[in-house]
Every structure is written in C-alpha cells, then in structure tokens.
Amino acid sequence: MSNKVITIERHIIEQERASNGATGDFSALLRDLTLAIKLINRDVSRAGLIDILGSTEMTNIQGETVQKLDEFADGVIYRAMDHGGHLCGMASEENEHILPIPDEYPKGKYVLLFDPLDGSSNIDANVSIGTIFSILRRVTPEGGDGTKEDFFQPGYKQIAAGYTIYGPSTMLVYTAGRGVYGFTLDPSVGEFLLSHNNIRIPEHNSIYSVNEGNYHKWSEGMRNYIDWCKKDIPEEKKKAYSLRYIGSMVADVHRTLLYGGVFLYPADVKSHKGKLRLLYEANPMSFVIEQAGGKATDGQGKRLLEIIPDDLHQRTPLVVGSPKNVDEVERFLNHS
Ligand code: AHM
Ligand code: MG
C-alpha cells in the first residue's frame, strides 16, 4: 500500500467518480453520516464519565437529564441526516416505524437504515460496540416520502453499507460495492484516514464465534458442528478450533473479517429466526463480508442478501465469515 494519506471524504468522492452516473449526492450523504459517527464517537469515548459529567452537561444544553447512549446515538444520526436532501426516509433498530423526513426539507433518492449503537449492553464494561448502516436507492417516485417498498428490498440492492467500531481506536469500514475499505479515526485531527485498503477476508481460519450458552436450544446439526469444532480430527482439520466471542456483533464480525473464521447467530428452539435483525445488522454486515470475499447465509443454504424483507424488524439466523468456514457450517446444518 502506498503511504498516501487519504481521508474518507476523498475516498468516497473518488469511488463515486469511478461509478457511472455519479452526481455527488451519494458522497454528500456519506459525509453527513461520517459527521454523525464522529459525534457518537465523542460521547462513546466518554461513556464512563457520563455519570459524573453527563448529567449537568446534558441538562445545560438540552434541558433534560442524561439519555441512554443508544438513544442519544439514534437521535444524532437522525438529526444529522434529516435535512441534507439526500434521504426520503430512515429506519432504525431503536424505532418501531419508518422515520420520515420533516416536511420543511427536500426528500431525496435514498433511504438509510441503521443500528445506532449495536452491542450497547456492553457499554458499562468498556467493551467494543458499533454503529451499523445500510443505504438503498428508493424505488418509489422521487419527491415524496419513502414508503415500506423502499425499505423492503433484498440486501443485494444495497448501494453502500458499513459499520463503525468504537474500540481501542475507532474505525469505519464500508463498501459501496467496489471492495471493502477501513479507515481509522485520527483523534488529533478528527479525520478518518484510510488504514485498511481493499480488505480481503482469509479463505479459512480455525476460529468460531457464537454464544455457546444456547447449545442445548440448538438443532442437532448445530450442536454437531460445535462438537466437531472442538475436536482434533487429523484427516479433516489439523486441530480443534478456537472460540472467540465478544457478544458485540460489530466486534465479532470485524475480527472475523480481518482474521477469518466464522460468526454465527443461529436459530434455536425459542427463537426460530435467531436474534439478529435482517435490515439493520445482517444485511449490511453480509454486504461487507461478501465484498471482502466471504460468505453470508442463513445456515440453510440461503444467501442472506437475497431474502426479501416483509417487516422492518424481522430477524434472521446468520452464518457469516470465511467462505470455507461457512461451507463447513452449512454442511452440518443441512444434514440434521
Ligand atoms: P442489540 O442490537 O440489542 O445490541 O443486540 C445485538 C447484539 C449483537 O451485537 C450481538 O452479536 C448479540 O446481540 C449478542 O447476543 P447474545 O447476548 O445473545 O449472545
Ligand atoms: Mg443491534
């Protein structure tokens, strides 16, 4: 990789230029989103201080007491994105219904779906959390409010998707369908700089990532797969696999993207569709993983990006990661 310093803004503009019919609209949309993410990052990095600093500060500025960080993040994204003229609607994991663009602002040609702060139950333990986003082009006529039709598109129609991970450093990883790029926030200048050019996921690695506490609720095929992971079977695999599970999807998928292996959230007897949401979690992460050369399925041979949604908050079982690891899982799940 060259040692050129490339900001995310420059990168997005160049990617858009390289695609046909670029109007600059899409770059501007992503620029607004990057600003929202920097604002969220500022507050997430002070999460441990909120009890001692937050209360007074929030009261001074907004006249209200401290908000939970996930609600705060939700509001920041909405307020940063509602007036740019690029969107005709938004949908967030935190809100039951479509979030309309206020009447006083123009309605654009995209919709934005997001999980403002995924893994937020980990905040108090200072564990990495993230923001996930997905952008679709509207299918209804331009000018009016976005409707369900605009949101209920299969994931392969996403025109961009990505996530931010608030970890030891803050990273933004995105794809616009031309590979996957990672940017690290340099806090001293407040810019995301290209640090991971054209990320490719390893073909295979001996790592699996799943909440194994659900073992007794899984299907036989799923239990067999996990038992197999733990064994040394010289003729099939050199050694037992390692288990890594953070419990924060963005962090678990990010590690899987960089190191390889597989991340799973399967169905179980209680949750027939698993836990994770198709539109806010599964689709954007699958788009990133596929663009990096990985695979993303529902564990029953179906590509996640081909599911046609019928509910804003629908869930799906999920198996994502290195192509060979996903194939291994599929082999077990399809033989139960
Ligand atoms: P959230 O959107 O309410 O934060 O829940 C999603 C999170 C994911 O980040 C993570 O992969 C999963 O829940 C962990 O679930 P579990 O605690 O069942 O292992
Ligand atoms: Mg979530």
Query: Is residue 280 included in any domain, yes or no?
Result: yes
Domain endpoint, select from 150, 171, 196: 196
Which ligand 1 atom minimizes the distance to the CA of 252? Answer: 11
Residues 315 and 176 in one domain: no
Residues 247 and 184 in one domain: no
Domain endpoint, select from 138, 171, 196: 196
Query: Is residue 2 included in any domain, yes or no?
Result: no
Q: Does the predicted TM-score (pTM) go above 0.85?
A: yes
Query: With contact defined as beta carbons under 8 Å apart, do 292 and 196 qualify?
Result: no
Residues 183 and 218 in one domain: no
Question: For residue 42, what are the contacts with CB-CB under 8 A and spacing of at least 6?
Answer: none
The domain of 252 spans: 207-334
Residue 299: which region, alpha, beta or left (left: phi > 0; alpha: psi -120 to 50)? left
- Structural domain total, the chain: 2
Residues 77 and 20 in one domain: yes
Long-range CB contact pairs, 195-202, < 8 A, 24+? 195/171, 196/171, 196/258, 197/1, 199/173, 199/257, 199/258, 199/292, 200/292, 200/293, 201/256, 201/257, 201/258, 201/260, 201/289, 201/292, 201/293, 201/294, 201/321, 201/322, 201/323, 202/259, 202/260, 202/322
For residue 286, the CA-to-ligand 2 centroid distance in Å is 14
Query: With contact defined as beta carbons under 8 Å apart, do 265 and 275 qualify?
Result: yes
Query: Is residue 37 included in any domain, yes or no?
Result: yes
For residue 14, the CA-to-ligand 1 centroid distance in Å is 35
The one-letter amino acid code at 18 reads A
Residues 119 and 153 in one domain: yes
DSSP string, 185-208: EETTTTEEEEEE-S----S--SEE
Residue 247: which region, alpha, beta or left (left: phi > 0; alpha: psi -120 to 50)? left
Which ligand 1 atom minimizes the distance to the CA of 118? Answer: 4
State phi, psi for 205 to the nearest 5 degrees. Answer: -155, 160
Residues 262 and 113 in one domain: no
Query: Is residue 1 included in any domain, yes or no?
Result: no
Name residues with Cβ closer than 5 Å to ligand 2, which is an ion.
115, 118
Ligand nearest to the CA of 121: 1
Residues 213 and 191 in one domain: no
- Which protein residue has the closest C-alpha to ligand 1 atom 14? 247
Query: Is residue 100 included in any domain, yes or no?
Result: yes
For residue 316, the CA-to-ligand 1 centroid distance in Å is 13
Which ligand 1 atom minimizes the distance to the CA of 214? Answer: 18
Ligand nearest to the CA of 278: 2
Extract the tokens encoding 195. Answer: 């640090």
Report the residue among 121, 164, 210, 286 best suited for mutation to probe ligand 1: largest number of ligand atoms under 8 A from its CB.
121
> Which residues, given as ranges, of the chain have pLDDT below 70?
1-2, 20-22, 50-67, 335-336
Cα 185 to its chain centre, rounded Å, is 17
For residue 234, the CA-to-ligand 1 centroid distance in Å is 34
Nearest residue to 217 via CA among 269, 172, 169 = 269
For residue 17, the CA-to-ligand 2 centroid distance in Å is 32
For residue 281, the CA-to-ligand 2 centroid distance in Å is 6
Query: Is residue 231 included in any domain, yes or no?
Result: yes
Domain endpoint, select from 134, 168, 196: 196
Residues 177 and 238 in one domain: no
For residue 51, the CA-to-ligand 2 centroid distance in Å is 24
Nearest residue to 33 via CA among 187, 144, 176, 199 = 176
Tell me how far apart the alpha carbons of residues 106 and 234 are, in angstroms, rounded to a whole number. 62
- Please report, in angstroms and rounded to a whole number, the separation of the first and last CA atoms in the chain: 45
Residues 161 and 285 in one domain: no
Residues 153 and 253 in one domain: no
CA atoms within 13 A on the CB side of 57: 9
Query: With contact defined as beta carbons under 8 Å apart, do 312 and 147 qualify?
Result: no
Nearest residue to 134 via CA among 256, 310, 305, 5 = 305
Residues 154 and 101 in one domain: yes
Residue burial 311-325, b: 16+ Cβ < 10 Å; e: rest: ebeebbbbbbbbbeb
For residue 268, the domain's CATH number is 3.40.190.80
Query: Is residue 237 included in any domain, yes or no?
Result: yes
- Which protein residue has the closest C-alpha to ligand 1 atom 5? 119
Burial of 333 (0-12, 13-18, 19+ CB in 10 A): buried
Which ligand 1 atom minimizes the distance to the CA of 119? Answer: 4
Site residues for ligand 1, CB cut-off 6 Å: 93, 115, 118-121, 211, 247-249, 252, 275
